[in-house]
């Protein structure tokens, strides 16, 4: 791990946050887009001005040695990185800071911490990279508890074993994306799970939230990579068997996947890894009408070609990303393989797109990158995709209300869902902010439906940004739920999506989940308020 300073309120490294001149230029651009004139940047907050209460509890000496009650550590563990986390952090409001940060280096230490939490009525909030956008690591747990401990997994960050024959690796839960890739590289292997938060999020966080990576088809969710999981629960070890597949009853892995820290602390997993890709093919197809792009994306998703990328951008999304001419929708296609050249695959995908009304005048780009190809592609990906979150932090400093939300629905429902989202979120932006801009892309596509991903940008009123955002967020949640979509395709439930999640899942499932929680977490200390209410 490097020792570059991380922002205590915004995204990523302090040295990557745009300086005042860059933010002023951005303020002029965004002000024009929103029709409100140039927006002036406010200076970023200082750590010294952060307001937080004194700790309510202190661990016994035997535990205190592997943790911290320093204000700086408590501040950095107060929030994830949702829009309202950024706004509250920018305002210096850290009123819900955890009382103590535990940084265990072993499963034994985790077990000791959980035992103490249970005995002392202290809530335990697992913390991976802290990139949750749904309040998953927030310590607002109610007054049933005497205090809250944030349990940071950063010391469990190693690839412990590689089974080259089965092409699998045993990885600790606190390892972040770049560290996993760096440790697999000497074996000629890669995981290739790239959520946009890749640089700072961890394997444990990915498993706990069922994260979605960059593959638009096939291996999209972390679920697809997991062979088995180890988790420390307050009731003991929960370890599943390493298998390529199994039909033995409901899957114990599935219970841990998406458990969002309410059952226990995931400490490691065996993962399916891959050979580094060598052959690549890509193309960009333009569509005068978004709905033709939708038909093309569906045709490709149902073709059995399984592209690694099949991202449809509407014209506004293209404009925001510098793709296309701003008049048309764009479908970005890509294939990758460690084994074979991909000319026929990309040619067939382009043919499906042109049948649907698309144009690809430049044709495909085909590359054979040899053994070193993957590293340069990762670097390119890093530069473009991974820089985008810094922009959101910069926009917060300009007082802009800016956020994303995502869903998934079956193809037969997409048109109505998209229309409902455009209408209801558009109206909410008008009510709350006087107007705004919304963009749509498909982040993933399945044979039976797309995962539409929306971005909204609207002018904020200083001091009222959270109320404005809430009105838009509620409209977005109601629109996707009302039109038969899921409240989240990959950003998880956390505390933020509870109302919609509660009505999305069967009530009998809620009862079953509560019973499971009661069995492995009898004192109800694990991440209270997330996914399900404990009766304890
Ligand atoms: C800019 C940005 C881009 C993003 N892009 C994507 C994306 O492309 N795809 C995607 O899926 N998500 C994305 N996210 C959301 C977030 O990165 C994911 O939810 C990610 O999986 C969280 O990982 P983390 O290590 O940061 O977990 P944290 O934020 O620390 O925790 C997330 C949840 O998991 C629990 N948890 C964490 N570690 C463990 C553990 N070891 N055991 C048990 N519970 C644990 C926490 O208690 C919490 O409930 C993005 C977020 C941001 C801010």
pLDDT score for 324: 78
State the Cα–Cα distance between residues 23 and 21, nearest whole angstrom.
Answer: 5
Residue 158 has pLDDT above 50, yes or no: yes
pLDDT tens digit sequence for 371-398: 444 443 333 434 556 788 999 999 999 9
Report the percentage of the chain scoring pLDDT > 90.
Answer: 92
DSSP string, 327-345: SSEEEEEEEEESSS--HHH
C-alpha R_g of the chain: 23
Residue with tokens 């944030």: 150
The best mutation among 9, 128, 234 to test binding of ligand 1, ranked by most ligand atoms within 8 Å of the C-beta, falls on 128
Task: Identify the DSSP state of 91.
Answer: T
- The side-by-side arrangement of strands in the sheet containing 236-239 is 159-163, 168-172, 265-272, 226-233, 236-239
Please, which pLDDT band fits residue 320 given cuts at 50, 70 and 90?
confident
Q: Is the CB of 173 under 6 A from ligand 1?
A: yes
What SS3 string covers 288-304?
A: CCHHHHHHHHHHHHCCC
Please tell me the distance between residue 474's alpha carbon and the centre of ligand 1 in angstroms: 22
| Residue 231 CA, closest ligand 1 atom number | 42
Please tell me the distance between residue 422's alpha carbon and the centre of ligand 1 in angstroms: 27
pLDDT tens digit sequence for 211-231: 999 899 988 999 999 999 999
The rounded mean pLDDT for the chain is 94
Q: Is the CB of 80 under 6 A from ligand 1?
A: yes
């Amino acid at each position: 791990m490097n020792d570059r300073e991380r922002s205590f309120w915004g995204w990523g490294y302090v040295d990557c946050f745009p300086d005042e001149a860059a933010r002023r230029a951005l303020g002029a651009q965004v002000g024009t887009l929103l029709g409100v004139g140039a927006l002036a940047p406010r200076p970023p907050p200082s750590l010294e001005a952060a307001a937080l209460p004194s700790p309510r509890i202190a661990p016994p000496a035997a535990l205190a040695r592997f943790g911290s009650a320093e204000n700086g550590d408590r501040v950095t563990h107060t929030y994830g990185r949702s829009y309202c986390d950024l706004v509250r952090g920018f305002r210096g409001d850290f009123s819900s800071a955890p009382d103590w940060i535990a940084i265990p280096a072993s499963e034994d230490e985790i077990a000791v911490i959980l035992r103490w939490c249970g005995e002392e009525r202290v809530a335990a909030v697992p913390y991976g990279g802290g990139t949750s956008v749904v309040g998953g690591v927030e310590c607002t747990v109610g007054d049933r508890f005497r205090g809250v401990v944030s349990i940071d997994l950063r010391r469990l960050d190693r690839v412990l074993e590689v089974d080259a024959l089965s092409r699998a690796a045993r990885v600790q839960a606190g390892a972040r994306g770049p560290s996993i890739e760096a440790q697999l590289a000497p074996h000629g292997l890669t995981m290739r799970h790239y959520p946009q938060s890749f640089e700072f999020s961890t394997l444990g966080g990915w498993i706990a939230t069922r994260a979605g990576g960059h593959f638009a088809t096939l291996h999209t969710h972390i679920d697809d990579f997991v062979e088995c999981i180890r988790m420390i629960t307050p009731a003991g070890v929960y370890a599943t068997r390493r298998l390529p597949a199994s039909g033995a009853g409901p899957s114990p892995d599935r219970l841990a996947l998406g458990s969002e820290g309410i059952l226990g602390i995931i400490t490691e997993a065996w993962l399916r890894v891959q050979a580094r890709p060598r052959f690549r093919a890509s193309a960009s197809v333009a569509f005068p009408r978004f709905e033709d792009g939708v038909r093309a994306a569906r045709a490709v998703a149902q073709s059995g070609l399984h592209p690694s990328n099949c991202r449809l951008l509407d014209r506004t999304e293209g404009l925001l990303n510098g793709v296309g001419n701003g008049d048309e929708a764009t479908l970005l296609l890509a294939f990758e393989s460690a084994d074979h050249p991909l000319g026929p695959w990309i040619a067939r995908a382009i043919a499906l797109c042109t049948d649907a009304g698309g144009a690809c005048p430049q044709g495909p780009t085909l590359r054979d990158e040899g053994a070193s190809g993957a590293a340069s592609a990762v670097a390119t990906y890093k530069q473009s995709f991974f820089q985008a979150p810094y922009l959101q932090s910069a926009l917060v400093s300009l007082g802009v209300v800016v956020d994303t939300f995502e869903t998934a629905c079956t193809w037969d429902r997409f048109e109505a869902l998209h229309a409902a989202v455009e209408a209801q979120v558009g109206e909410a932006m008008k009510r709350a902010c006087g107007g705004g801009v919304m963009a749509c892309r498909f982040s993933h596509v399945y044979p039976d439906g797309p995962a539409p991903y929306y971005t909204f940008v609207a002018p904020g009123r200083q001091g009222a940004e959270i109320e404005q955002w809430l009105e838009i967020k509620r409209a977005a949640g109601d629109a996707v739920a009302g039109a038969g979509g899921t409240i989240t395709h990959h950003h998880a439930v956390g505390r933020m999506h509870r109302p919609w999640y509660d009505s999305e899942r069967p009530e009998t499932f809620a009862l079953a989940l509560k019973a499971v929680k009661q069995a492995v977490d009898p004192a109800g200390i694990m991440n209270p308020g997330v996914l399900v209410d404990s009766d304890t």
